[in-house]
Amino acid sequence: MRKIFFLPAVSALLLACFCLVFAALPEPVDYLNYHRAYAGVEALIVAEDFASAETQLDRLLEEYDVRFAKDLVVAAQLGLLNQHPDKALRYLNQALEKGVKSDVLFHIPLLHTRLSPADWQQLREQEPAARKRYFSRIDTALFREFHRRFQD
């Protein structure tokens, strides 16, 4: 009789542990939803509803851990269009950390005309440290391995 009771109890305990382990795992991030939401932001930009576009893009960038450099630059431009220069500079600094160069940013007409010379000086001063952080996140051994595989 004891063996019959023992087997279901152990099974139930293992099942409970199994469920707890999988419940504690983070839910996978669905970037398809990110890109769908970003398409909505683009539609608002096309409709020239810049305030709503900025609000939705801010929410989107907060919701997802991975921030794409191009999206950060767009968020900065929306910030400037909506008179939020501090937010724009914050996004531009994050874009620098994603590998965007200040010279590239300088050639974007909206950024070129709306940022002050002091803002550009600040971005250029922060660029070396941002690029250092950007390169520190690149796995050069993995990069060389991929390069070697595609050269063969």
CB atoms within 10 A of CB 147: 9
| Radius of gyration of the chain measured on its C-alpha atoms | 24
pLDDT(22) > 50:
no
Give CA–CA dist 35/24, Å, rounded: 26
Q: Tell me the C-alpha distance between 120 and 6, whole Å.
A: 72
pLDDT for res 27: 57
Neighbours of 78 (CB within 10 A): 26
Structure tokens at 63: 């919701």
71, 61 contact by CB (below 8 A): yes
Closest CA to 88 of 109, 67, 112, 115: 115
Residue 27 sits at φ, ψ, to 5 deg, of: -70, 135
pLDDT tens-digit map of 45-81: 999 999 999 999 999 999 998 889 999 999 999 999 9
Enter the pTM of the model.
0.75
Q: Are 130 and 93 in contact (CB under 8 A)?
A: yes
